[in-house]
Amino acid sequence: MTASPSPSQATEFRGPVPKNDKPLDEQQLQAQTWFATLRDNICAEFEAIEAEAGSDARFEYLPWDREQADDSSDAGPGGGGVRGLIKGKVFEKAGVNISTVDGAFSEEFAKSIHGASENPHFFATGISLVAHMANPHVPAVHMNTRFLCTTKRWFGGGADLNPPIPYEEDTNDFHARMKQACDPHDPEYYPKYKKWADDYFYIPHRQVHRGVGGIFYDHLELESDDDFARHFAFTQDVGRAFLDIFPKLVRRRMGLPFTAEEKEQQLIWRGRYAEFNLVYDRGTTFGLKTGGNVDAILMSLPPEVKWD
Q: Catalytic amino acids? A: 142
Q: Are 261 and 145 in contact (CB under 8 A)?
A: no
Measured between alpha carbons, how far is 78 from 21 in angstroms, rounded to an integer?
7
Beta carbons within 8 Å of 146's beta carbon, 6+ residues apart: 35, 124, 125, 126, 127, 128, 155, 156, 157
Closest CA to 59 of 67, 50, 71: 50
Alpha helix stretches (DSSP H) within the chain: 7-10, 26-52, 107-110, 168-182, 189-200, 225-253, 260-279, 282-289, 294-297
CB 210 within 8 A of CB 199: no
**In Å, how far are 71, 175, 296, 304 from 31, measured between CA atoms?**
30, 25, 20, 34
Burial (CB count <10 Å: 0-12, 13-18, 19+), residue 62: middle
Phi–psi pair at 61, nearest 5 degrees: -110, 130
CA distance 294 to 298: 6
